[in-house]
A = this chain, B = another copy of it.
């Protein structure tokens, strides 16, 4: 309900400046922030009932919440622990590589180097490394770049295998969580939830962590700047509607539900001028307005291209990459979205912090209703309330394990992912995504990724690891072959574009394909790592 008179707000859309201390201007967000800073509201907060207002004043010095291990009453602490364990396990498997390779380097001129090396690799990494690389070390020195890339690719393959086989996020197709959320979504009046986060690695965990959604129940299409392709999205809309007509799945076409397209833009509360969205020059107002424009373009494309009242619903959400707290621009039922008004999950957190779960849910529901630009759709309110409730757990997650904000505010990705797919990657800062069919179309995104990795890896003499991935449908004849050819084509285009890096062994590529209809690991079908003897005869 931040219904601020126009004169009290800045003329452009949201920027993090709004978060700076200052006189509360009357929005719920700012006023609660003032409360948190110890300032008393100058007037009652009219939309909150007095019975609830009183406790608000108590948490101007946030302390542990009684019960639930100091967590918010709506937070599932065991889920947080499980997610953290998974994130740790995967990232440690990547981050163990360099220390082990350093030790190998020190050993490389020992007489029993090969057996020592394999012993060390088995013990520390859990797998052996390629013998040809070890055996050639004595001639000049260990080919550390190839070895690093090989280990990284091996680790990625293990991640992929365990993801599809063990479902660590408990969200795969047919899982209880996925089925429950699909039912809930339909109850809210939506037959598809299609989310476009920014392709930035700091949003790679947005679906499974920040929003706590079962990954298989959501369509995720990351794009740089969250600027999805309108024509492709119309195609996906057609595909979805066709399936409803033909198969009544997930529900019949005549049922009054909508396709919901969400843009998830991002910003940084700690360093708004530098660590926001690079695609929008770290300007979160611009990120929000561009995202909103793209949403409107998509809606208009559907409305103008099809008859019979065809349309889609839209939702704009922002996320703070430092705290993972979201802010939701709650739309009116009339489709209106206000770029300058949102409901901040941190405010929701505080407003419900000492309420029982049931009271808390009711309160969230009310806050969402009041934050809407115009009278909201009840189903939309329910969905947003759920997203906010889920996000509360993530706010606690970041507080529990990262002292309230991530220490890796900048880029710290482990590899670049290129192509289409990557359902198994849901961890923050694990992967820089460059979703593309061709390097020709995606060159700008890819250049950004390479630039990031020049800082992260090349500056240390380590190669940039790139995993190319094309998903295919195993039920379509020849589709796997075409996916393999696409992967090789993209690799060749990358070799041409980054010829200098490739020549120096500073860019290595793993080619993978994946049958999207099956829960099998990604399949490696090629790589730039060669074990051939140089100058062999």
Q: Using a CB-CB cutoff of 8 Å, which residues 238-261 of chain A contact chain B? A: 238-239, 241-242, 245-247, 253
Q: Which segment, of A268-276, A301-309, A338-346, faces chain B?
A: A301-309
Q: Please measure, in the bound complex, the distance between the C-alpha atom of A222 and the C-alpha atom of B389, giving whole angstroms.
A: 53
The answer to whether the Cβ of A446 comes within 8 Å of any Cβ in the partner chain is no
Q: Using a CB-CB cutoff of 8 Å, which residues 394-447 of chain A contact chain B? A: 437-441
A297 in contact with B441 given A231-B482, A247-B306, A306-B247 (CB within 8 Å): no
In the bound complex, residues from chain B placing their C-beta under 8 Å from that of A296 are: 477
In the assembled complex, the CB of A329 is this many whole angstroms from the nearest CB of chain B, namely 20
In the bound complex, residues from chain B placing their C-beta under 8 Å from that of A253 are: 245
In the assembled complex, the CB of A256 is this many whole angstroms from the nearest CB of chain B, namely 15
In the bound complex, residues from chain B placing their C-beta under 8 Å from that of A437 are: 437-438, 441
Q: Please measure, in the bound complex, the distance between the C-alpha atom of A310 and the C-alpha atom of B231, giving whole angstroms.
A: 25
The answer to whether the Cβ of A473 comes within 8 Å of any Cβ in the partner chain is yes
Chain B residue, CB-CB nearest to A476: B301
In the assembled complex, the CB of A489 is this many whole angstroms from the nearest CB of chain B, namely 6
In the bound complex, residues from chain B placing their C-beta under 8 Å from that of A439 are: 440
In the assembled complex, the CB of A27 is this many whole angstroms from the nearest CB of chain B, namely 31
User: Interface code A287-302, partner B: CB below 8 Å = 1, 0 otherwise?
Assistant: 0000000001100110
Q: Please measure, in the bound complex, the distance between the C-alpha atom of A104 and the C-alpha atom of B296, giving whole angstroms.
A: 54
The answer to whether the Cβ of A161 comes within 8 Å of any Cβ in the partner chain is no
The answer to whether the Cβ of A47 comes within 8 Å of any Cβ in the partner chain is no
The contact of A297 among B234, B306, B478, by CB within 8 Å, is: B478
In the assembled complex, the CB of A249 is this many whole angstroms from the nearest CB of chain B, namely 9
In the bound complex, residues from chain B placing their C-beta under 8 Å from that of A97 are: none
Interchain CB contact under 8 A, A305 and B476: yes
Tell which of A296, A438, A473 has the most Cβ of chain B within 10 Å. A438
In the bound complex, residues from chain B placing their C-beta under 8 Å from that of A278 are: none
Interface of A is mostly: helix
Chain B residue, CB-CB nearest to A305: B475
The contact of A307 among B246, B306, B473, B493, by CB within 8 Å, is: B246
In the bound complex, residues from chain B placing their C-beta under 8 Å from that of A307 are: 246-247
A475 in contact with B304 given A310-B246, A438-B440 (CB within 8 Å): yes
Q: Please measure, in the bound complex, the distance between the C-alpha atom of A231 and the C-alpha atom of B471, giving whole angstroms.
A: 12
The contact of A493 among B234, B305, B440, by CB within 8 Å, is: B440
Q: Please measure, in the bound complex, the distance between the C-alpha atom of A304 and the C-alpha atom of B305, giving whole angstroms.
A: 28
In the bound complex, residues from chain B placing their C-beta under 8 Å from that of A246 are: 241, 245, 306-308, 310
In the bound complex, residues from chain B placing their C-beta under 8 Å from that of A478 are: 230, 297
Chain A: residues with Cβ within 8 Å of the partner, total of 36
Q: Please measure, in the bound complex, the distance between the C-alpha atom of A440 and the C-alpha atom of B235, giving whole angstroms.
A: 22
Interchain CB contact under 8 A, A297 and B477: yes
In the bound complex, residues from chain B placing their C-beta under 8 Å from that of A479 are: 230-231, 301
Q: Please measure, in the bound complex, the distance between the C-alpha atom of A467 and the C-alpha atom of B347, giving whole angstroms.
A: 57
Q: Please measure, in the bound complex, the distance between the C-alpha atom of A247 and the C-alpha atom of B305, giving whole angstroms.
A: 11
Interchain CB contact under 8 A, B242 and A238: yes
The contact of A438 among B234, B441, B475, B482, by CB within 8 Å, is: B441
In the assembled complex, the CB of A191 is this many whole angstroms from the nearest CB of chain B, namely 15
Interchain CB contact under 8 A, A247 and B308: yes
Q: Please measure, in the bound complex, the distance between the C-alpha atom of A239 and the C-alpha atom of B305, giving whole angstroms.
A: 12
Chain B residue, CB-CB nearest to A310: B246
Chain B residue, CB-CB nearest to A243: B306
Q: Please measure, in the bound complex, the distance between the C-alpha atom of A493 and the C-alpha atom of B489, giving whole angstroms.
A: 15
Q: Please measure, in the bound complex, the distance between the C-alpha atom of A478 and the C-alpha atom of B301, giving whole angstroms.
A: 9
Interchain CB contact under 8 A, B242 and A245: yes
A489 in contact with B230 given A242-B241, A246-B310, A305-B476 (CB within 8 Å): no
Chain B residue, CB-CB nearest to A300: B477
The contact of A440 among B247, B477, B489, by CB within 8 Å, is: B489
The contact of A239 among B238, B247, B297, B300, by CB within 8 Å, is: B238
In the assembled complex, the CB of A177 is this many whole angstroms from the nearest CB of chain B, namely 26
A476 in contact with B304 given A238-B238, A246-B241, A439-B440 (CB within 8 Å): yes
Q: List 13 other contacts, CB 8 Å, given A242-B245, A438-B440.
A: A230-B478, A230-B482, A231-B476, A231-B479, A231-B482, A238-B242, A245-B245, A245-B246, A297-B476, A297-B477, A297-B478, A305-B476, A440-B489
A-B contact pairs, 11 of them (CB 8 A): A230-B477, A234-B476, A238-B238, A238-B242, A241-B242, A242-B245, A246-B306, A301-B477, A305-B475, A305-B476, A437-B437
The residues of A with any CB-CB pair to B shorter than 8 Å are: 230-231, 234-235, 238-239, 241-242, 245-247, 253, 296-297, 300-301, 304-308, 310, 437-441, 473, 475-479, 482, 489, 493
Q: Top 10 A-B pairs ranked by shortest CB distance?
A: A304-B475, A245-B245, A301-B476, A297-B477, A242-B242, A440-B440, A438-B440, A438-B438, A300-B477, A238-B242
